[in-house]
Amino acid sequence: MRTMYPDIEPYRTHQIAVDARHTLYVEECGNPEGLPVVFLHGGPGAGLSPYHRRFFDPARYRIVLFDQRGAGRSTPFADLTDNTTWHLVGDIETLRERFGIERWVVFGGSWGSTLALAYAQTHPERVLGLVLRGIFLSRPEEIRWYYEEGGASWILPEKWQRYASIIPLAERGNMLDAYWHRLTSDDETVRLAAAKAWGAWEGGGITLEESPETEASFAAPDVALSLARIEAHYFRHLAFLEPGQLLRNVEKLRRIPTTIVHGRYDIICPAKNACDLAAEWPEADFHIVLAGHAATEPAIVDVLVQATDRLADRYC
């Protein structure tokens, strides 16, 4: 099985203002003359991690990574103003133009797959290839599955109880709204408690095997606050997408070389999401593998690295 490439450091970092309010943290890694790829992180609001650089051959790829609005080292932190899917699609184009890139590969997992699809359907002429992992289409049933008392609460019952415990019984019929009111409270203590509970719930479902370290990392304040606030903001608005938009617009992507990989036992984004996408897109190279949701699951890494290597073979 393929593994990730060795650790690398950026050869250049930037703080790029995309409007009067938001400034994005951006990294360039690998080969400045290589095949351009943009990495779209999950969440929304999760931000970058160093391992995100390692899905690409650094000798053959010019790797562009950025913290999306309100996430990671972008500013203002956890900010919701002018923060929608379509603002982010515009930001991707701003970065492409800023770096003088004509066309590039787009790589995204979880929320990043949502954003990758939205971007590619808006600008298909700018996309050389798509690599998509842990498909999330932002449909109401997907949000109910994990953030309301859907199927995930039956699979992770003790973790669900902790997630639900900070919400009074009378408000548990709409967990998303109950969390939203707390995540936007004027009381910093209330905001942080809700964010940490949300982050622990999400981190607790990511890996196939139990990982207390992963759960704790998602509950850390510097991750949890942006993750919880921005996710709740997006999910309350169904990611600012029209019903069925991402499936309906697959027609625009059929000629783009695409790999889709999804964990069979993904609790956060059930495999049905990927199957629904693949059913509309038989031209895509579709894999269901023995894994959970995390991009670091060995079977998922194997498919992702093979996919990026194939695109490098094709274009380099």
Position of tokens 């290839």? Answer: 129
Of the residues 41, 52, 79, 110, only one is catalytic, namely 110
pTM score, two decimals? 0.97
Which tokens go with 64? 């562009």
Bridge partner residues of 65 (DSSP): 27, 39
Region 12-36 average pLDDT: 98
pLDDT score, position 39: 99
Q: Who contacts 48 (Cβ-Cβ below 8 Å, separation ≥6)?
A: 25, 27, 39, 41, 65, 66, 67, 72, 73
Domains along the sequence of the chain with CATH: 12-139+240-315 (3.40.50.1820), 141-238 (no CATH)
Check residue 150 and give its pLDDT. 81
Cα 109 to Cα 126: distance, rounded to the nearest angstrom: 19
pLDDT tens digits, 246-271: 999 999 999 999 999 999 999 999 99
Amino acid identity for residue 200 in this structure: A
Active site residue 293: yes
Give the active site residue among 74, 266, 287, 302: 266
- At 267, the amino acid letter reads I
pLDDT tens-digit map of 56-114 = 999 999 999 999 999 999 999 999 999 999 999 999 999 999 999 999 999 999 999 99
Is there a contact between 22 and 88 (Cβ–Cβ < 8 Å)? no
Q: Find the mean pLDDT for residues 215-236.
A: 96
* 110 catalytically annotated: yes
Helix (H, G, I), strand (E, B) or coil at 164: helix
Question: Exposed, middle or buried, 97 (CB in 10 Å: 0-12/13-18/19+)?
Answer: exposed
127 pLDDT more than 90: yes
- pLDDT mean over 212-223: 93
pLDDT at 129: 98
Q: At what angle do helices 175-183 and 188-203 cross, to 10 degrees?
A: 130
Query: What's the chain's average pLDDT?
Result: 97
Catalytic residue among 113, 138, 293, 302: 293
pLDDT tens per residue, range 200-211: 999 999 999 999
Residues 6+ apart with CB under 8 A from 169: none
Please give the average per-residue pLDDT across 169-191, as a whole number.
Answer: 96
In whole angstroms, what is the distance from residue 84 CA to residue 115 CA?
10
Banded model confidence at residue 149, pLDDT cuts 50, 70, 90 = confident
Cβ-based neighbours of 104, under 8 Å, separated by 6 or more: 35, 36, 37, 38, 64, 96, 126, 127, 128
Average pLDDT of the residues in 189-195: 97
pLDDT over 90 (residue 34):
yes
The answer on pLDDT for 125 being more than 90 is yes
Is residue 57 annotated as part of the catalytic site, yes or no?
no
Question: Is pLDDT of 220 > 90?
Answer: yes
